[in-house]
Amino acid sequence: MDQHITNSSKFPKVVIVGGGFGGIELAKRLKNKEVEILMLDRHNYHTFQPLLYQVATGGLEADSIAFPLRKIFKNQKNFTFRVTEVDSIDPSAKIVNTSIGKITYDYLVLATGSDTNFFGQKEVEHFSMAMKTIPEALNLRSMILQNLEEALIEGDPVRKASLLNFVVVGGGPTGVELSGALAELKKHILPEDYPELSVKDVNVYLIEGSDELLGAMSDEASAKSKQFLQEMGVKVLTNIRVLGYDGDVIKLSNEQAIPTKNVLWSAGVKGAIPGGFPPETIARGNRIVVDEFNRVAAQPRIFAIGDVAAQITPDTPNGLPGVAPVAIQQGKHLAKNILRFMNNEQPEPFKYSNQGSMATVGRNKAVVDIGKIRFQGIFAWFVWMFVHLMSLVGFRNKVVTFVNWVWSYFSYDRGTRLIIRRFNRESMTEDPSAK
Amino acid sequence: MDQHITNSSKFPKVVIVGGGFGGIELAKRLKNKEVEILMLDRHNYHTFQPLLYQVATGGLEADSIAFPLRKIFKNQKNFTFRVTEVDSIDPSAKIVNTSIGKITYDYLVLATGSDTNFFGQKEVEHFSMAMKTIPEALNLRSMILQNLEEALIEGDPVRKASLLNFVVVGGGPTGVELSGALAELKKHILPEDYPELSVKDVNVYLIEGSDELLGAMSDEASAKSKQFLQEMGVKVLTNIRVLGYDGDVIKLSNEQAIPTKNVLWSAGVKGAIPGGFPPETIARGNRIVVDEFNRVAAQPRIFAIGDVAAQITPDTPNGLPGVAPVAIQQGKHLAKNILRFMNNEQPEPFKYSNQGSMATVGRNKAVVDIGKIRFQGIFAWFVWMFVHLMSLVGFRNKVVTFVNWVWSYFSYDRGTRLIIRRFNRESMTEDPSAK
């Protein structure tokens, strides 16, 4: 058992599952401490998820928003990393079952983030595209571009319309950003790249179940983001639910039926939990219930942070929002508490410091809430770009992204509209046989 | 027939198959001329093949060496583009059979380039990796990184050795550049990223059948590139042929057998010819025989340029080398000749102007031949970088590549060592199910 990881250290072994914002912050904060860290992730890189929509729409190369996990920790002697899938945990034996074998732990931290939630709609799940990982964003990019290519040679008007209708489901930040980016693609790229297509045949829809976009933000942000999108030509439909999607037509609760081959699903997330957790520890949205120390109920050596954790306290009866700052702050805080637990000291409860939230709609158009301060438009857009650029891991990534953004700003261009791997509509994934 | 392409023009229709160096040059030179151009390519982008080895070894993002074909021609009114595979041609009906239907032509230009040549060794072909396209280079990158990850957890010493032995076959520019890049990966990245592995367990071999590397270049270049590689720790084996490779052990003509999971094949190319050509028009290396006007024998309306063409003339009994400058010069020249043919004017024979050749081995190490002028080392390396940077299509690509190179130079880093799509050893391609 545990044959794959040499751990000659006498220090307690902290296994961190997931190299997202929370897992990275935690591991960094444990540098030079008397612990042995093992991080597990199915990818060998960290994904900067807030910019996935730019990869999907040809604005950034995938490699700009990914960063090799080994490189982040190259000088950290108490850090080991393995690429693996975690299948389940066995708390009684203090073991994680993975694709590379059983791994023991003294302390286990789940920082596995979230997956797309289709709320049980299997057919919708099969035919629509999610965007939580880089391969998914690249599949989406290929699909969008291939559908434009196919529209050129499609004689049947209904099929052609379905190739040119883009339906984004879910009016949170991802849906707003994605539909805005598609509107810009339509306005600036389509007339140049596809002069044979008519811009007015291309439609971008944004479907939201509640009565406003960006529900987690201020009313000003909600209203302004809707106005921005409408000015950009996006058809924003609020108070509308998706009843079904069979790969050809999406049916909406207002009896509208839109022929489309492009359904982009950003309507919800659910915690990505490995097997082995008792059902009573799992809350709404498939998140693991944790206490104010991010400890899993009745499991003194198991913790969860970030999107996968539901920190249910009197102050936060519904848990905290699934955003990067929560994960980062929890990772930072847990580093101290884990050391306190090891030394039998009193841990300190986590307090979330909400530093605001923001979303971008398009060129010169973003919305920012910082406490009572709310602003929208070009200044908000520059703030958004600055914050995201600074949050990107790695100097090279910052520079390459900055170059791309400056280039796009002046040229109205999106440079990377490449079909590197063909998307296969049967399997709804890329075609490995394509050279 | 020809239903997919609206061609209301009264001008003759020139169909160009392939958006490589030759095809692009030809189409550009026909701008504003009295012809209708239709370009066909299986990708929607141009690939800058000379830098594929940097993508395969994590030095550059794929998107830096690819450029959307539509974008190159966005202001060219007589240009149309389709993504499609060309199956065969039918000269008697003047038709190209493609995956999107039959397409008619008045003049047809094959600029389809070359594929990897395994010289009939089927088993070697299945188990070794080629590198002629961006998907192939990305597969190679994933395979190299996954094999390093796997070596970490491999207990069996022979299997571990096979994961850490890298065998590059073919000592032309690609083989020299690839083995040099692998040697740098071993020296600068491995100790930082994989402190658990021992650098001395990692071996890079370069196998060449003739008695020297870079056979097409000067003796100085051949000797110096070998010396550079040996200084960098590459085991260069000349006068050695590959007898077989079964996925585990590569067998060489000197009776050596190297256990390896990493065989990178760059030992030869062959023309990529669609079906429909009579065997007598096909020369050695599967290239189409053309005359001094790049005209296919007995086919007054079919031309071939670049790697796929064998221009057999008294001056060039073996054809011209399969390099970018030949393709570019032939494209440029053919643009004029096609117009002459249309106007029943006398065409002019093509003359290749050899402006020299170069190859890079590693940091501060390149070899350059320009006529009688030959130099090697750091200045050659800067010349190599400058020429390749300037040849890249697109300002954005130039800037991003420049940033990456400057960054690598000072940091000794290769930034994009990402396993974006997992490589599957069974299918020898990437795994579409991996998220």
Give the distance, in angstroms, between the CA of residue A71 and the centroid of all CA atoms in the same chain. 22
| Helix/strand/coil percent split, chain A, to 5 | 35, 25, 40
Contacts of A206 (CB under 8 A, 6+ apart): A168, A171, A175, A176, A179, A213, A229, A234, A235, A236, A237
For residue B5, what pLDDT is reported? Answer: 63
CATH number of the CATH domain containing B147: 3.50.50.100
> Strand, helix or coil at B399?
helix
Shortest distance between the Cα of A345 and any Cα of chain B, in A, equals: 34
Cα–Cα distances in angstroms (integers) from residue B395 to residues A238, A408, B72, B427, in the given order: 41, 12, 11, 37
Cα–Cα distances in angstroms (integers) from residue B340 to residues B94, B104, B311, B364, in the given order: 20, 21, 20, 47
Cβ burial of B278 (10 Å; 0-12, 13-18, 19+) is exposed
For residue B1, what pLDDT is reported? Answer: 46
Instruction: Render pLDDT for A19-52 as a digit per residue (tens, 0 to 9).
Output: 999 999 999 999 999 999 999 999 999 999 999 9
Enumerate the H helices of A240-346 as residue ranges: 324-342
pLDDT greater than 70 at residue B86 = yes
Q: Per the CB < 8 Å rule, is A71 touching B3?
A: no
For residue B315, what pLDDT is reported? Answer: 84
Residues B210 and B164 occupy one common structural domain: yes
Residues B194 and B251 occupy one common structural domain: yes
Cα–Cα distances in angstroms (integers) from residue B31 to residues B277, B332, B335, in the given order: 29, 12, 10
Residues B284 and B307 occupy one common structural domain: yes
Measured between CA atoms, the residue of chain A closest to residue B411 is A396
- Measure CA of the first residue to CA of the last residue in chain A; give whole Å: 41
CB–CB of B347/B341 below 8 Å? Answer: yes
Q: Per the CB < 8 Å rule, is B399 touching A407?
A: yes
Indicate whether B66 belongs to any domain.
Answer: no
d(CA B418, CA B12): 47
d(CA B146, CA A428): 25
d(CA B415, CA B398): 17
Cα–Cα distances in angstroms (integers) from residue A340 to residues A34, A293, A294, A349, in the given order: 12, 11, 13, 12
Indicate whether A79 belongs to any domain.
Answer: no
Measured between CA atoms, the residue of chain B closest to residue A4 is B153
Q: Residue A172's pLDDT band (boundaries 50, 70, 90)?
A: very high
Task: Please report the beta strands in B253-372, taking only residues with DSSP state E, as ranges in sequence order.
Answer: 257-259, 262-265, 269-271, 282-283, 287-290, 302-304, 309-311, 357-362, 365-370
Measured between CA atoms, the residue of chain A closest to residue B73 is A193
Shortest distance between the Cα of B215 and any Cα of chain A, in A, equals: 29
Task: Look at the block and give the residue holding tokens 């979230």.
Answer: A114
Contacts of B10 (CB under 8 A, 6+ apart): none
Indicate whether B57 belongs to any domain.
Answer: no
Residues A275 and A261 occupy one common structural domain: no
Q: Residue A93's pLDDT band (boundaries 50, 70, 90)?
A: very high
Instruction: Render pLDDT for A351-398 as a digit per residue (tens, 0 to 9).
Output: 999 999 999 999 999 999 999 999 999 999 999 999 999 999 888 899
Contacts of B219 (CB under 8 A, 6+ apart): B212
d(CA B300, CA A367): 63
pLDDT greater than 60 at residue B158 = yes
The DSSP code for B400 is H
Contacts of A109 (CB under 8 A, 6+ apart): A14, A15, A16, A17, A23, A26, A302, A303, A304, A305, A334, A338
Indicate whether A64 belongs to any domain.
Answer: no
pLDDT greater than 50 at residue A1 = no
Task: Look at the block and give the residue holding tokens 């306005």.
Answer: A187
The DSSP code for A253 is T
Indicate whether A4 belongs to any domain.
Answer: no
pLDDT greater than 50 at residue A167 = yes
Residues A369 and A247 occupy one common structural domain: yes
Q: Per the CB < 8 Å rule, is A420 touching B193?
A: no
Instruction: Render pLDDT for B356-415 as a digit per residue (tens, 0 to 9).
Output: 999 999 999 999 999 999 999 999 999 999 999 999 988 889 998 998 899 888 888 877
For residue A4, what pLDDT is reported? Answer: 52
Residues B132 and B281 occupy one common structural domain: no
pLDDT greater than 50 at residue A129 = yes
> Strand, helix or coil at B76?
coil
Residues A191 and A290 occupy one common structural domain: no
Pick from A44, A152, A416: CB nearest B419:
A44
Residues A208 and A332 occupy one common structural domain: no
Q: Per the CB < 8 Å rule, is A62 touching B61?
A: yes
Contacts of A94 (CB under 8 A, 6+ apart): A104, A105, A106, A108, A301
* Full residue range of the structural domain in which residue A318 is found: 13-42+84-116+270-342
Contacts of A415 (CB under 8 A, 6+ apart): A58, A59, A404, A407, A408, B63, B394, B396, B397
Q: Per the CB < 8 Å rule, is B136 touching A66?
A: no
For residue B4, what pLDDT is reported? Answer: 52
For residue B283, what pLDDT is reported? Answer: 93
Long-range contacts of B145-149 (CB under 8 A, 24+ apart): B145/A44, B145/B58, B145/B417, B145/B418, B145/B419, B146/A83, B146/B419, B146/B422, B146/B423, B147/B261, B147/B262, B148/B190, B148/B193, B148/B194, B148/B197, B149/A44, B149/A82, B149/A83, B149/B419
Q: Residue B431's pLDDT band (boundaries 50, 70, 90)?
A: confident
Q: What is the mean pLDDT of residues B275-298?
A: 93
d(CA A191, CA A172): 29
Residues A262 and A238 occupy one common structural domain: yes
> Strand, helix or coil at B355?
coil
| Catalytic-labelled residue, pool A36, A177, A208, A292 | A177
Shortest distance between the Cα of B332 and any Cα of chain A, in A, equals: 24
Residues B131 and B212 occupy one common structural domain: yes
Domain total of chain B: 2
Indicate whether B134 belongs to any domain.
Answer: yes
List of chain B residues whose C-beta atoms are within 8 Å of the C-beta of residue A421: 135, 421, 430
Task: Say what the pTM is.
Answer: 0.95
Active site members of B: 177
Residues A338 and A222 occupy one common structural domain: no
Q: What is the mean pLDDT of residues A234-245?
A: 98
pLDDT greater than 70 at residue A214 = yes
pLDDT greater than 90 at residue B346 = yes
Pick from B217, B258, B212, B201: nearest CA to B239: B212
Mean pLDDT score of chain A: 94
CATH number of the CATH domain containing B278: 3.50.50.60
Q: What is the mean pLDDT of residues B108-118?
A: 97
Shortest distance between the Cα of B173 and any Cα of chain A, in A, equals: 22
Could you confirm whether A177 is annotated as catalytic? yes
User: ipTM greater than 0.90, yes or no?
Assistant: yes
Q: Per the CB < 8 Å rule, is A400 touching B403?
A: yes
Q: Residue A186's pLDDT band (boundaries 50, 70, 90)?
A: very high
Pick from B135, B155, B435: CB nearest A135:
B435
For residue A8, what pLDDT is reported? Answer: 63
Indicate whether B408 belongs to any domain.
Answer: yes
Cα–Cα distances in angstroms (integers) from residue B158 to residues A71, A98, B199, B201, in the given order: 28, 24, 16, 11
Q: What is the mean pLDDT of residues A143-159?
A: 96
For residue A174, what pLDDT is reported? Answer: 97
Q: Per the CB < 8 Å rule, is B418 touching A44?
A: yes
Mean pLDDT score of chain B: 94
